[in-house]
Structure 1
Amino acid sequence: MTENRAALPVKDSKYFISRELSWLNFALRVLELTASPDLPLLEKVKFAGIMGMLHDEFAMKRLGGLRNIKRRKPNKVLDGGRTPGEEIIACREELRQQSDKVGRLVESHLRPAMNQAGIALLDYENLDVEQRRYADRFYRDAVEPILTPLAVDASHPFPFISNLGLNVAVTGEGKKSGRGKFVRLKIPANRPRWVKLPAAGASSQVAVPLEQVVAANVCRFFPDWKKLKTYFFRVIRAAKDNPWERLDVDEHEQELQPGCIIGMVTAELTYRKFAGVTLLQVSEDMPENLQLWLASQLQMDPDDIIAIKGLLATADLMKFNVEGRSDLRDPPFTPTPHPRLADPAMDDPETFFQEIRAGDILVHLPYQCFDTSVLRFIRYAASDPKVLAIKLTIYRTSKDSPIMQALMEAAGRGKQVVVLVEITARFDEAPNIAWGKKLERAGVHVVYGMERLKTHVKLAMVIREEQSGIRRYVHVSTGNYNVQTAKVYEDLGILSCNRLLGENVAALFNELTGGVSSHGYDMLMVAPHNLRERFVELIHREVAHARGGRSCGIFAKMNQLQDCDMIRELYMASSAGVPIELNIRGLCCLRAGVPGLSDNIRVYSTIGRFLEHSRIYRFENGGDPEFFIGSADWMRRNLNRRMETIVPVVDSILKVQLDEILNILKKDNCSAWDMHPDGSYRRRVPAKGEEKRSAHEMFMRRATGA
C-alpha cells in the first residue's frame, strides 16, 4: 500500500480537487436550489441571502487565507496542483460568475415575483409620490442625523472602510470651482436595510433599500455641487487564520508563542476589522475610473473588483421579514418528542434518567425535539438534587441560551459546573468571550479552550449520585448546544449511561480542563490522539474483507472531505474492490468514479430545507456493521489540529435507526447532487412516473408518523 500511496501525489489535479473551487461548487449547488421552480418564493429569497453570506465568508476566509500563503510562499503548490496565485485567479473568476448569476436571479426573477405576490421590494425610482414622501421623511427623521459625510481632498485623507459595510460614493463638482469632489457615506447598520413603506394597490407590504433612500436624498448635504452622482460599494476584508489552525502548515510548523488566549483572540478580532481587502463589490453603473481609484485608495488589486448587478450585500435578504404569507413558505414543521421521551412521566427527572438507563437514546434533530431531549437533560441536571456535577463544551450557542441559564442556575445551587467555552470559534469569538465571563460571575468553572488545539468536541456529562453509587450520564453530539440551530441543522446525538463511555468522556474532560493527556480512550476515538489511526485501521479492515471475499463497504456522511491522506486510503480501498458511498454536503477534494482510481466510490451531496450537519461512519465489517457518530469531518484540521470525538454506536436498536437514516438519504431523488469524475455535480431528478422523494420530507413524515 505504501507504493500505491506514493503514486498518488497530492499536488496533481487528476487526483485531488481544489479545496477552494470545491467550496464554490457547493455554493453553486445552493444557487441551483434557489432557482428551483417548486421552492416557495420566500424560501428562494432566504436562499439568495444564504448565497450572499456564503460569498462573503469565502472572500474573508478562503481568499484571505490564499493571500497569506501567496505572500509567504508564492511558489507553494496547493492541493489540486495550483500555486496560490493561480488558485486566486481561478476562484476570482468563479466568484465573479456566481455573483453575476445571483444578481440576475434576484433582479430578473425574485423581485418581480415578490412584486407580483404583493410583497414588493421596489427601487426608489419606482415609488409613487406618497411612498417617496414617506421614505424621505424617514430619511430626515431617522437616518440623516446619524450620517457622517467623509470627504477626500487635500485636507481629508481617504477614510477607513470597514469590513462588510455598505457605502455610498458621492461624486460631483463644485458649482464655482468646477473641481471634482468625492464623499463617502456609510449606510448605518443600526437602521433597517429594508425600509417599509405604506402599501399601495395590490401590495400588502412594500419596502425599499435604505441605501437608495440615502442616495436619493444626499443632495441635502451638497447644495453647492453640480453633476452630483451616487454609486454603491462594499469592502470585504480577510479573516485572519485562527491562531491554532494555520491554513497552509502542519501543527509542528507553528511558531506561536504561548500567552493569554483571550488576549490573542481579542487581537484577532481587532485584526479582522482592519485586515487587507480581498474583494471590492461595486454597483454595476460605477464608472471604471472611479472603481480603479477606489482600488488604489484601498491598496488592493484592481482584479479583485466585482461589479454587481442590482443589490449589494444580498446576505441581508435573510433579514427581509414578511408578516404572514405562509403560502409563500415551506409548510410549518414542529419537531416531535423522541418516542421514548414523549410520555408525560418524563416531566419527572427521576423517570427521565431512568429511561436513559434503560438503553441508549438516539436523537435526530431537527425532526425530534431538542427541548424535550437535550435541553431537558441539562435542565434536569441543573435542578435534580441527586446531580453533583455537570460538564459541557460550548462551540457555538444562541444569544439567549437556556442551556447557559441552566448551567448558571446549577452553579447557584452548589453543583460543580465546568464549561469549556471555545473562544476561537470563528465569527463567534466575541459572544463566546462574553458568555465565558458571565458564567464565571455565576460561579461556573470556565476553561477557554486548549493551547494550539481548537476544541470542537460536542459533549455533555452529568454526574449523579444514585442508590447504587455514582453514575455518569453523557450526551455525545454531532452538533452544537444551540437551541436556534437545533431547529434548522440536521444533527444526531446519543444520550447514554454506558459505563465505559462515561469513563472515557470523564478522561477527555480531564484533559480539556487539566491539560493532562489520557491514554485510556478505549471507546472514544479522539483527535489528535488516535482518531486518524483508528479510521485508517477501519478502512484497511474493509480492504482485508474485500480481498478475503467477505462482505465489505464504507458509508461516510460528513460536511467536508479534504484530508489528502484519507483520500489516498479511500482510493486504495476502491482499487481493492471496497464499495464506498460518501454523502458530503460541502467541499470534497476526492474525485469519484474515475476509471482505475475511484471506480467504486460514489459521492453525493444533500442540500435542502435543513442544513445537513451530522457525521455518520458505517463500516460493513464482513457482515457485522459498525457505526460511529461524532464531531469530526475528514479534514486535515479535524484530524490533526482540533480536539474531536467520534463514538462507536453499540446499541443494536440505534444501529438499525442509523441504517434507516442512511437508506433514506440514498433514496433521495430530488435534493441530492451526484458528483461526476470531472468534479462537477448534477442534481437528481425523479424518473418519469417516479414519486418525488426528498430526504428531508421523508424524515419529517417519519418523525410525525404521517
Structure 2
Amino acid sequence: MAKSNNKKEKDKKVDLDDYSLYTNRELSWLDFNFRVLEEAYDKENPLLERFKFLAITSSNLEEFFMIRVAGLEEQVRASYSGLDISGLTPTQQLILISQKVNKMLEMQYVCLIDELLPLLKKENIRLLKSEELDEKDTEFLDSYFKTTVFPVVTPMAVDQSRPFPILPGSGVNLGVELQNEKGETLFAFIPVPTIFPRFIKLNSENGLKLFLIEDLIKKYSGLFFSGYKIVEMSEFRITRDGDFSIDEDDARDLLIEIQSSLKERRTGFPVKLEISKNMGKNLKNFLLNILNVRMENVYEISSFLDLSSLMEISNLEGYEHLKYEHYSPQPSIEFYGKEDIFKIISEKDVLLHHPYESFEHVVEFLRQACEDPQVLAIKQTLYRVGKKSPIIDYLIKAAENGKQVTVVVEVKARFDEENNIQWAKELEKAGCHVVYGLVGLKVHAKLLMVVRKEESGIKRYIHMSTGNYNYITTRLYEDIGFFTCKESYAQDVSALFNVLTGYSRPPTWKKLSVAPTTLKEMLIKLIENEIEISKKGGKGKIIIKANSLLDKNVIKVLYKASMNKVDIKLIIRGICSLKVGIKGISDNIKVRSIVGRYLEHSRIYYFENNGDPKLFISSADLMPRNLERRVETLIPIEQENLKQNLIDILQLYLKDNFKARELQPTGEYLKVSPKKSKIISVQDELMKESKKKFQKFLKKQEVDQFNFPKLK
C-alpha cells in the first residue's frame, strides 16, 4: 500500500504544463521539411524524383514564410511577447527559425550543385551558363528573346518621379545598378516574367541543354538601358506576408472581401529577402533600405534563386527511366464490373484507399447520381478542388438535370481561394445552391450525400473521406474514402448539412463526432478509456496516423496514458510537439514519420478497447485549428472486414523500415535500420498488394478483364 501511495505522490509532482515537455511548432515543421530534403539526397530515389523533392522543400519553405513567419513578424511588430507551447517568445522563435533555415538553404544548394546537376549532366541534360553557349544555341536564343521575351519584359526605373515599384512576392527579379552620362548612380528593376518556362530548352544531338530565362534577360540587358552603363545586374526575390484576416462579422459579402484581400497578398509586407551572394554593396544596401527587411530574414544564395522551379526539370518528358515506375491506381474489387453503384453500397459499406485504389469510383458515384432519374438531391462540401474537376462538371450537370444540388464551398481555403471563388460562381450560374462556409469556421470535413427515391422510400447514400475531392491530388496524396447508406450515418450527415446551410443547431450525433463541438472531447474520452483499461490490469493500446500533433490537451492526455502503461504508437508525418523518451512521462510512446513517393494524408485512429478495437477515419489532424476552429468529422468504421483492413494498413506503416524515420529523445528523426531479412516500404507494399488483389479478383472471375465496364 505504501508503494502505491508513493507512486501517486510521484505522479502528482509531474507538471504536464512544463514548457520543456513540448516542441515548438515552427521548428518541428522545419524538421519535417528537412525530412523532405533528405529524399532529395536519397540515392535510392530516381534522379528526376530527387529534383522534385528539392523543389517541394523550396515551395514548402516559401509558404512557411508567407504564413507562419509572417504571423510571428506581425506579433513582433505589435510588441506581443506571449509564450508558445514550448515557452518561446515570437522574437526567440524567429531567431531559431533563421538559424535552421540558413542550414536548410545551405543543404539545398549543396544537394543541387554537388549532387543533382552533375548526375543530370551524366544523363546528357545540362544547365548552361552564357559562356557555354555555342553558335547554334545563341542563334536560337537571340530569336526567342527578340520575338517572345523582349515584348513582355518591363524594366522599372526608380527615381523621384518613379518610386520603388511594388514588386510581386515569390517571383525572381533582377536588380540593376546603372550610371548615366554624368556618372550618377541610378537603380532599376526587371521582374522576370512567370508566364514563360524558367528553363529554356535547347535541343541538340548530344541530349538536352537548359538555359535560365533570367540569364537570357541579362545576356540582352543592354537593349533595355540604351545610353546608360550597366554597373551590375543581380537576382533577388521577395517573399511577402501571404496571410490575411477577414472580419467575417463585418464583411457584407464574403466573396468580395476575400477577392479584395487576395490583392493584398501580392503586395504584403516583405518577410524574406533572398539575394545573390555576389550582389554588390550598392544594390544590396538600396534593397535593404527600401524593403525594410530584418537582417535575420535576408538570405544570400550561392546559385540561382527559387528552387521550386526545379519541378520543371522533374517533369521533363522523354526521361521516364529517371522517374518512379508508373503506377495506375487499381480498381476496387467491390465496384469493378458492376454497373449499379447504389446497389453495391446498399449491400455493404466500402472503403477505398487512394492512390492505391482508384478515385474514379467516387467520380462514377457522382456521375450516376447526376444521371439517375431516381436521385432527388446531391449535397457536397468542397475544400480544395483543383483547376480542372470532373466533380464540378457532374454537380453542374446534376443541377441542369433538375436535381436539387447544394454545395458548401470553403472560399477561405488558403491559396485555393481564387479557384474556389471561380467554382462557386460557375456552380451558382448552373443553378446549384452554393454556401460559402460558416462565419468564423473553415469547413474542412469531406462529405458527399446523394438522396434517392426508392421503392422502400427515401434513401441517402454517403461518401466521407480524409482527403479533398481533388481529381489531381488523389493520385499523389494517400487518403481513405468511405461509402455507406446506413441510416445512422445518413441522419448525422443530413443534420450536419443543415447546420452548414441553415440555422439548425448541432444535434446529438448518432455516429459522427464533429468539430468544433464534440470531436476533441470524443478523442480525449477514447484515450482516457485506454488509461482506465490499463489501470485495471488490461492492455491499453493506441495507434494514431495523422499529419500533425500540436494540440496541448491531446498531448497531455497521451502523456497521462503513457504514464499509465498504455502502449502508444504515433505515425505523424509533419509537426509533432510531443516529445518521446521523457522518463516517467513518455516512455511508452513511439513516434515515426514517413515521407515518400506519395504525400501521407489520411488520419486513422485506433483504440484497443480491451480486445474490441474501435477504429475511426477523420478529416481532422490533432491541432487546435482542426479541433476548435474548423468543421471536421471523426467517422467510426464498424464493419469488421473494414476494421481489419485499417488495422492491416496501420501495421504496415509500423513495419516500414525503408522510408520511416523515428523521433528520438534528442528531437532528431533517424531512419529506421532495416533488418537483414527484408526491406519493407509501406507505399511499395500497398502498391503491390492493390495490384495483386485486383489480379486475383480477375482470375477468380474466370473472365477476360476487358469484358468489364472500364474506368475512365
Is the structural similarity TM-score above 0.5? yes
Please say if residues 593 and 601 of structure 1, whose CA atoms lie closer than 8 Å, have aligned partners that are also in contact.
Answer: yes
1:278 aligns with 2:284: no
Q: TM-score, normalised by structure 1?
A: 0.94
Structure 1 residue 357, shift from structure 2 partner: 1.2
CA contact (8 A) 2:539 2:566 kept: no
The SS at the match of 1:70 is helix
AA partner of residue 346 (structure 2): R
Q: CA deviation at 1:258?
A: 5.3
SS at match of 2:318: coil
1:326 to 317, 320, 323: 320
Gaps of 5+ in 2: 1-7, 694-712
Q: What is the 5 A alignment of 1:245-394?
A: 257=250, 259-320=252-313, 321-343=315-337, 346=338, 348=339, 351-371=340-360, 373-394=361-382
Counterpart in the other structure of 2:226? 223
Return the alpha-carbon distance in structure 2 between the equivalents of residues 454 and 586 of structure 1. 21
Which residue in the other structure is 1:495 paired with?
483
- 1:280/1:305 contact within 8 Å kept: yes
1:74 to 66, 76, 80: 80
SS of 1:341's equivalent in the other structure is coil
CA distance in 2, matches of 1:98, 1:124: 29
CA distance in 2, matches of 1:73, 1:377: 53
- CA deviation digits over 1:568-594, x for unaligned, max 9? 111111001111111001111110122
CA distance in 2, matches of 1:218, 1:233: 16
Change (3 A) 1:431 1:324: same
Partner of 1:178: 183
**Alpha-carbon separation, structure 2, partners of 1:518 and 1:385:** 32
**2:493 counterpart of 1:505:** yes
Distance 2:395 2:51 in 1: 37
Q: How far apart are 1:7 and its partner, in Å?
A: 5.0
CA contact (8 A) 1:258 1:451 kept: no
| Residues 16 and 556 in structure 2, CA contact (< 8 A), matched pair in contact too | no
Worse overlay, 356-365 or 258-267:
258-267
> Are residues 1:631 and 2:599 paired?
no
Structure 1 spans left out of the alignment, 5+ residues:
245-254
Q: In structure 1, what residue type is equivalent to 2:212?
A: P
Measure how far apart 1:99 and its partner are: 1.1
Equivalent position of 1:91 in the other structure: 97
Q: Which stretch of the first structure deviates more once superposed, 285-294 or 412-421?
A: 285-294
Residue 608 of structure 1 and its aligned partner are, at CA, apart by 0.2
Task: Using the TM superposition, give the Cα deviation of residue 494 of structure 1 relative to its aligned residue in structure 2, in angstroms.
Answer: 0.5
Q: 1:398 to 1:327 in 2, by over 3 A?
A: same
Checking the alignment, whether the CA contact within 8 Å between 2:177 and 2:283 is kept in structure 1 is no
8 A contact 1:5–1:568 mirrored in 2: no
8 A Cα contact 1:584 1:605, kept in partner: yes
After TM superposition, the structure 1 stretch with the greater mean CA deviation from structure 2, 281-290 or 411-420, is: 281-290
Task: Give the CA deviation at 1:551.
Answer: 2.1
Distance, in Å, in 2 between the alignment partners of 1:228 and 1:132 is 24
Q: 1:675 to 1:241 in 2, by over 3 A?
A: farther
Alignment of 1:383-462 (within 5 A): 383-462=371-450
Alignment correspondent of 2:4: none
Q: Distance in 2 between matches of 1:469 and 1:121?
A: 66
Moved more, 80-89 or 67-76: 67-76
The correspondence for 1:120, drawn from 108, 122, 126, is 126
The answer to whether 1:695 aligns with 2:675 is: no
* Partners of 1:60 and 1:239 within 8 A in 2: yes
Deviations 1:202-260 (A, max 9, x none): 32x2211101111111012223333532110010001225548xxxxxxxxxx953532
Q: CA deviation at 1:325?
A: 1.5
**Paired residues for 1:30-49 under 5 Å:** 30-49=36-55
Post-superposition Cα deviations, 1:634-677, rounded to whole Å, max 9, x if no partner, equal: 10001110000011001001001001100110111010110011
2:172 partner letter? L
- CA deviation digits over 1:457-499, x for unaligned, max 9? 0000011111111111100100000110000100001011111
The CA deviation at 1:557 is: 0.5
Q: Is contact 1:65-1:241 (8 Å) kept? A: no
Shift of 1:288: 4.2
Q: Give aligned-pair identity as a percent.
A: 37
The CA deviation at 1:683 is: 1.4
C-alpha separation in 1, matches of 2:251 and 2:438: 11
- The answer as to whether partners of 1:630 and 1:646 remain within 8 angstroms in 2 is yes
The question of 1:551 aligning with 2:557 is answered: no
Aligned residue for 2:61?
55
Of stretches 313-322 and 35-44 in structure 1, the one that deviates more from structure 2 is 313-322
Q: Can you list the C-alpha shifts for 1:511-537, whole angstroms capped at 9, x where unaligned?
A: 011132222212100001111111111
The Cα RMSD (Å) is 1.8
How far residue 3 of structure 1 moved from its aligned partner, in angstroms, is 11
**Cα deviation, residue 449, structure 1:** 0.7
How many residue pairs get matched? 685
User: Matched residues in 1 for 2:669 and 2:401: separation?
Assistant: 54
Contact persistence 1:292–1:302 (CA under 8 A): no
Rounded to whole Å, the distance in 1 between the matches of 2:325 and 2:288 is: 46
Aligned pair in 2 of structure 1 residues 677, 646: CA closer, same or farther (>3 Å)?
A: same
Alignment check: 8 A CA contact 1:359 1:496 kept: yes
Tell me the CA shift for residue 73 of structure 1: 4.5
